[in-house]
Amino acid sequence: MRPTLRKIRLRAVWLIVVPFFLFARPTTASIVVGSVIALLGLALRGWAAGTIHKDEHLTVSGPYAHLRHPLYVGSLALGIGVTVAGGSWIWPTLFLLFYGAVYTRVMQEEGRRLGELFPADFPSYSAEVPALVPRLRPYVGPTRPAAASPARTASSASPAPTTTARFAWRQYRRNREWEAALGTAAAFALLAVKGWLGSGTL
């Protein structure tokens, strides 16, 4: 069985994670700056995770009214924040190279999949909403409910959310976004300990 893009992405990231924590030289300044950037990324990811209903509906509200991939943009900010905290320009550079190589393909694949799941609504949505650079005015989709995924049976299908769909903590937990928050907290805790042990002043 061929590994999915998600599995490839999760495995490949360790090529950066392991050497990063071995050779990072965090300082107080780098951790402060990095944490601010990472928190912005977590906030965007959390907003998106609490709004999206993956593969069930075409979500076009919340952050998805401004850009098509808020989860991935949040991951970009999160990764930049953590690597900036490492104290050297080499880490954000390596992360950006990794992100460009891996996530470009991931976003292309996701666009194809959503086009197949929601052929009536995704083309107009993707034509009007940028992938990574947010539009200022929120997207206003059709007033009718978007078509439910054909992969769902008639008995289980439900109307796709309109632009009035809002963030819900239950959906945030369902999408397990709290794991990203815990992982980020652990990463900064390790960097803080490493910086303190390295300088004795952090």
Give the separation between CA 15 and CA 97, rounded to whole angstroms: 12
Spell out the SS3 assignment of 47-63: HHHCCCCCCCCCCCCHH
Question: What CA–CA distance (Å, rounded) separates 148 from 199?
Answer: 56
pLDDT attached to residue 166: 83
Q: How confident is the model at residue 53, as a pLDDT?
A: 87
**164 pLDDT more than 60:** no
Predicted confidence (pLDDT) at residue 140 exceeds the cutoff of 60: yes
9 pLDDT above the threshold of 80? no
Q: Answer whether 81's CB lies under 8 Å from 36's CB.
A: yes
**What is the chain's mean pLDDT, rounded?**
85
Model pTM?
0.83
Confidence check: pLDDT of 148 > 60: no
Answer yes or no: is pLDDT of 156 > 80: no
Q: How confident is the model at residue 107 (pLDDT cuts 50, 70, 90)?
A: very high
Tell whether the model's pLDDT for residue 21 goes beyond 70: yes
Specify the higher pLDDT residue, 19 or 165: 19
Is residue 158's pLDDT more than 90? no
In the DSSP assignment, the letter for residue 31 is H
Burial class (CB in 10 A: 0-12, 13-18, 19+), 22: exposed
Average pLDDT over residues 81-107: 93
- What domains lie within the chain, and their CATH numbers? 26-199 (1.20.120)
Mean pLDDT of 95-104: 91
Averaged over 121-139, what is the pLDDT?
94
pLDDT at 200: 45
- CA neighbours within 13 Å on the CB side: how many for 170? 2
- The residue-averaged pLDDT of 104-117 equals 92
Write the pLDDT tens digit of every residue in 26-61.
999 999 999 999 999 999 999 999 999 888 889 999
Q: How far is CA 131 from the centre of its chain?
A: 12
